[in-house]
Amino acid sequence: MFHKSFSVAKRVRTETDIGSSAVSVAFAACSLARQIFESMSEVNVLLVGAGETIELVARYLREHQVKKMVIANRTRERAQVLADEVQAEAITLPEIDERLYKADIIISSTASPLPIIGKGMVERSLKARRNQPMLFIDIAVPRDIEPEVGKLSNVYLYTVDDLHAIIEHNLSQRKAAAVQAEDIVKQESLNFMEWMRSQSAVSSIRDYRSMADNIREELVEKTLIAIQQGADVESAVNDLSRKLTNRLIHAPTKSLQKAASSGDLEQLNLLRDSLGLDQC
């Protein structure tokens, strides 16, 4: 049953989009980055902050094997703890200015009351990068990145509001996928119940065959003993066939008589069908 459950879950994941749409801010940020950059293995990432959201982002990005990941935090110690877990480099917030130009993707989420990354800092980084594009994703409230940064050429700035819009869209897609998933689960449930019923039939067939074999073995043994003791072979074989027939049809005969005497035509017809009487 557990195997079947996992099989159904895999089918839901494979045949629907229920798991493909981001419905958390951290996952949405990573999904956005993956949509913009074709190969994450060639991307350098700077994460600003070391809280729960950035931790989730870091783990997602590590799974997609980004080229290099740097984590900047107010305290190097906290950044280092997370960096060790995701094979990243830890720096402090003041070091961002001199390291920003190396980052293709910058995702920020701190509790700072004032912006950490300003327009001037980004302008210097763009110059050092020879205007290669930079993706900024600011998921902090209040903002970690000055809004004016988004007006610069070759800079793409997304805020938490943009991500919420993506999440809302994805939620509607996931609801549609949930309907598909429900249909799959219903179908698989019916298939499973049918299989369970068939297993019950298999067990009954096995028991019936075992009973018939036991009767046959018992009568054959008695017949062989009778022949060894001098009984006529033809008579012994005829006696065997008669007794075998009587023993095998005894239970079905009783069931037919019971159904007929009680007037249960449905049961009577079912028995006739199962015994193949209407095919004779």
Please report, to the nearest 10 degrees, the dihedral formed by the alpha carbons of residues 35, 40, 43, 49 taken in order.
80
Q: Which two tokens stand for residue 115?
A: 């912006």
Q: Measure CA 237 to chain center.
A: 62
Binding residues: 49-54
- Element at 47 (helix H, strand E): strand 44-48
CA distance linking residue 82 with residue 88, whole number of Å: 8
Helices marked H in the chain — which ranges?
A: 2-15, 25-36, 52-63, 76-86, 96-99, 119-128, 160-228, 233-261, 265-275
**Residue 108: what are its φ and ψ, rounded to 5°?**
-125, 135
17, 177 Cβ separation under 8 angstroms: yes
Q: Which two tokens stand for residue 214?
A: 């036991």
Q: For the chain, give the longest Cα–Cα distance.
A: 116
CA distance linking residue 225 with residue 131, whole number of Å: 103
Residue 58 CB: number of other CB atoms within 10 A?
26
Binding residues for NADP(+): 49-54
The strand pairing partners of 108, in sequence order, are 48, 138
DSSP-derived 3-state class of residue 273? helix
